[in-house]
Amino acid sequence: MPEKTLKKNLSWTTAGMVLYNFAIWMLSALTLRMLGARMSGYYAVATSIGNTLYAVALWGMRSFIVSDTRQEYTYAEYCGARLAGIGISAAALAVILLLSGYDSMQIWILLLYSVFKFTETLIELMDCFMQQKKQMAINAKSMILRSVLFIAAFFLALKLTRSLITGLAAIIVLSLAVFLFYNLRLVKQEIPLTAVLFNGHTRAILRQCFPIMAFELLSALVVAIPRLRYEAIGSLDALGIYTSIYTLVIFLQLVINVLIYTFAPYMADSYNSGNTRQFLKYAGVLFLGSAVLALAAEILVKLFGGPVVTMLYGSVASPYYSYLYIGILSGVSLAWTWMFSQLFVILRRTYDQLYCSLAATAACWLLSNQMIQAGDCNTMSTVLILTNLVFILTAAVLLLYRKRKAAL
């Protein structure tokens, strides 16, 4: 492994993802602090549905592109597949908007948030190409640029107009501008990206990535189902407060995701070259590192949770910092499912990944209907933990079964 390249990529990726996830958290925090719990509830519903549609638009292509070290498909074909995924996701959004029964405010917020995520999928595709080339500095600089612009524009829009709709419209414009004038321009200097192709290979990409997309879609549903269930029986204000506080867990998840994101191409190279020992070493670092990070986060919440939540969100959220205790456990358990997902992709067992997701989503739906209580937001985190455990156990059983079958 080229240690110098790995360290450089890890440094850039860490900086970019920390700041970008800080910006995503700031959108939620500013909504609660500046517009109140009710508007934060609207935003929570929009993110639950919009992030699920985002998973469809991505179509599971990141892991596939990064693992395609032999250049089985062209960049133009990957672009065609990405646009097809966005189209399918947009069609699903139209159906939801027509049939949801939401009021006009919720519809506009959901529509704009989803469009914002669609523009981000275009940037994400450019990131995939550069990650495959192990040139992650371009990706990180884009995340840093967007983070600064998003926070500034969103804050000013809320300050001047007191409107979440205006804030979302502002970040859509900025996201599209960064894609056109930064990511796309620089990527074209590195790779032969001259056209978008829709052909048999494009359909093959969609077909082969479908199990990965289904996993990511079902993973998003696992987060969304408990929240949408709570929205149906509980208070929109309470959901807004819970979701805003829970968003702090994103900082723990992003550190874990940095490890996955950075090590993925090296794990793929180790597996493809037959270096099993190095491959297992990388996997062990990912799992052990996430456990240590979770313990550190729990200690920080115990020491500083109450004052920090009050400072960030105001007195309205002060009594609810304890949501973070179970939230951290649910966040780390979700990150572990991502690790198993990456293993399945590298091992080319994407259908096993899909089977795990189906089992977990079914469990999530059943548990949400049985366990979610209108007076206790912590039940949403509890459902998420149990759901992720179902995924992990199913994955472990399948890996052992495949290993024993191959040995026969």
| Pairwise CA distance, residues 384 & 219, whole Å | 10
How many domains in the chain?
A: 1
Query: Which of residues 210 and 66 earns the better pLDDT score?
Result: 210
Q: What 8-state DSSP symbol labels residue 33?
A: I
| Pairwise CA distance, residues 62 & 60, whole Å | 6
What pLDDT was estimated at residue 270? 75
pLDDT (tens digit per residue) in 226-272: 999 999 999 999 999 999 999 888 778 777 777 776 776 677 677 66
- Non-local (6+) Cβ contacts of 339 within 8 A are 260, 283, 286, 287, 290
Residue-wise DSSP of 160-217 = HH--HHHHHHHHHHHHHHHIIIIIHHHHHHHS-------SHHHHHHHHHHHHHHHHHH
Domain hosting residue 201, numbered range: 3-407
Nearest-Å Rg of the Cα atoms of the chain is: 21
Task: Give the residue-averaged pLDDT of 41-47.
Answer: 96
Task: Give the residue-averaged pLDDT of 331-354.
Answer: 79
Environment class of 7 (CB within 10 Å of its CB; exposed 0-12, middle 13-18, buried 19+): exposed
Closest CA to 297 of 230, 352, 248: 248
| Pairwise CA distance, residues 128 & 63, whole Å | 8
Q: Report CA-CA distances (Å) from 45 to 108, 269, 382.
A: 12, 40, 19
What pLDDT was estimated at residue 10? 66
- Non-local (6+) Cβ contacts of 406 within 8 A are none
Confidence of residue 49 (pLDDT cuts 50, 70, 90): very high
What pLDDT was estimated at residue 40? 95
What pLDDT was estimated at residue 16? 82
Write out the two tokens for 309: 């939540």
Q: What percent of the chain has pLDDT over 90?
A: 47
Question: In the beta sheet, which residues pair with residue 373?
Answer: 376
pLDDT (tens digit per residue) in 96-132: 999 988 999 999 999 999 999 999 999 999 988 888 7
CA dihedral 140, 300, 325, 328 (to 10 degrees): 20
